[in-house]
Structure 1
């Protein structure tokens, strides 16, 4: 089992369930930016817990369809159960939603199958983002639209000591990994290289508010940060938690909460 698959199998039940629903909020913003319309057929590549999938289903309506693909069977099972539990107009489940286990880098569908492809916080996880973008372009009909989000920046000003504490427990990797998606022009260049036009890439601030250092520490294990946290050896995790929460304690706002600043990178393009 690959490391990425193992991590997301482990985090699936808690993913976006601790603290504010960061991915849900950004998923809704992304599908609005990409301009979904009633009747669209949409692929959500790397659907996770449905942050893009469910708002997309609302926008395309009963005449449209949204297919979510994720490498993690646990994620797919949870999203499928969520879809079945929803009862629009008194019915049973979302008839316009399908979720399947599959590779978000190379979704197995015929060329020209979709009006829209979206990908929320997935591109950084893929071995070859350019190959993925080329695959998405191939899956789109002429004039089809693409939208993606990635982290542009994490932690933010003031969190330097917390970052140093975490880095001291992850000596082999640290808390940042270089990516061909950096900077914004890098992502724009990849999209253009994959054959997309009308490329627009913008970074927007997004503050995550957490009740206290304990909730922050749980959030770190129940979000995309899990990949970084997984680098802490099991024997050191309790000590790392004590040290990191102590550092975070000094960052409390006057009301006692913690503000975790993020920058979200939104990209849209057309086929």
Structure 2
């Protein structure tokens, strides 16, 4: 099994099994965050970088049959998954799905009342995300909204493992990315400046902590086990202490030892940044 969970795009942790399980494990907070944006019935909304479509059913519910949902993703296999989701009747609004890049949005100016973009910025450089925000401003209507969700990986923990292991791992990832401009999976708390640079107004940020205590649900168990395998492989390529690598390797080899611990707790955080297109 590919523990990096890559799609054909080469982006890690972006394939449907990872995305679907992650969404299921975090559904309450993820759906609350999307509702927080303020999408209204009758709106036309773009899910830019839709992945395997976790947000599509709720987007359809929010805009209703009088609205429209457009979904765009770079990975053809993810687009095929979203198309199946729509064909099976899981979206209450008319929905169009296509393969495409957030760097070159294939939509006319002033098309959307809201652009929603979840966990895409982390794969981009600062220059690329600046370009993306310009594209979002172009395709959103005057007075419309742009909402971007992304992780703040500096808060990731899986207890009873030492939280310092995860702090050192993200520090090593940031050091490795230094000089490349890559925003990375720790970027969620720092995206407002791109909204300001793009000229958006009324900028709002809100964070969510996703916390799951013992005993974990089946979805949490499966996702954390998958995450431990991915994290162990990641640590093997980073400049972290050998003891950290060994602790993560051992946890990945026996995830039940972590998940069945009475002091188990998984924590992750994300931030949604919202801005308005000037009228």
Q: How many residues align?
A: 250
Whether the aligned pair in 2 keeps the contact of 1:30 and 1:52 (CA below 8 Å) is no
Give CA deviations for 1:82-127 in whole Å, capped at 9, x if unaligned: 111126xxxxx75611111000232111111111100011111123
Q: SS at 2:265's partner residue?
A: strand
What pairs up with 1:13-92 in 2 under 5 angstroms? 13-18=16-21, 21-22=24-25, 24-86=27-89
Give the structure 1 partner of residue 251 of structure 2.
244
Q: Is 1:132 aligned to residue 132 of structure 2?
A: yes
Give the structure 2 partner of residue 189 of structure 1.
193
How many angstroms does 1:135 deviate by?
A: 0.7
Give CA deviations for 1:174-220 in whole Å, capped at 9, x if unaligned: 89856388473x31111010111000112221124646877523245
Instruction: Specify whether residues 192 and 250 from structure 1 end up closer, same or farther in structure 2 by C-alpha distance, changes over 3 A only.
Output: same
Whether the aligned pair in 2 keeps the contact of 1:105 and 1:132 (CA below 8 Å) is yes
Whether the aligned pair in 2 keeps the contact of 1:16 and 1:22 (CA below 8 Å) is no
Give the structure 2 partner of residue 236 of structure 1.
none
Instruction: Specify whether residues 62 and 213 from structure 1 end up closer, same or farther in structure 2 by C-alpha distance, changes over 3 A only.
Output: closer
Whether the aligned pair in 2 keeps the contact of 1:76 and 1:100 (CA below 8 Å) is yes
Q: Which runs of 5+ in 2 are unaligned?
A: 1-5, 238-245
Q: Please identify, of 20-29 and 172-181, the stretch whose mean Cα deviation from structure 2 is larger.
A: 172-181
Whether the aligned pair in 2 keeps the contact of 1:204 and 1:264 (CA below 8 Å) is yes
Counterpart pick for 1:206 among 210, 222, 228: 210
How many angstroms does 1:44 deviate by?
A: 0.6
Whether the aligned pair in 2 keeps the contact of 1:43 and 1:118 (CA below 8 Å) is yes
> TM-score, length-normalised on structure 2?
0.73
Whether the aligned pair in 2 keeps the contact of 1:20 and 1:208 (CA below 8 Å) is no
CA distance in 1, matches of 2:272, 2:227: 22
Q: SS at 2:21's partner residue?
A: coil
How many angstroms does 1:259 deviate by?
A: 2.0
How many angstroms does 1:28 deviate by?
A: 2.1
Instruction: Specify whether residues 198 and 78 from structure 1 end up closer, same or farther in structure 2 by C-alpha distance, changes over 3 A only.
Output: same
Q: Is 1:218 aligned to residue 226 of structure 2?
A: yes
Counterpart pick for 2:273 among 250, 267, 270: 267
Q: Which runs of 5+ in 1 are unaligned?
A: 88-92, 234-238
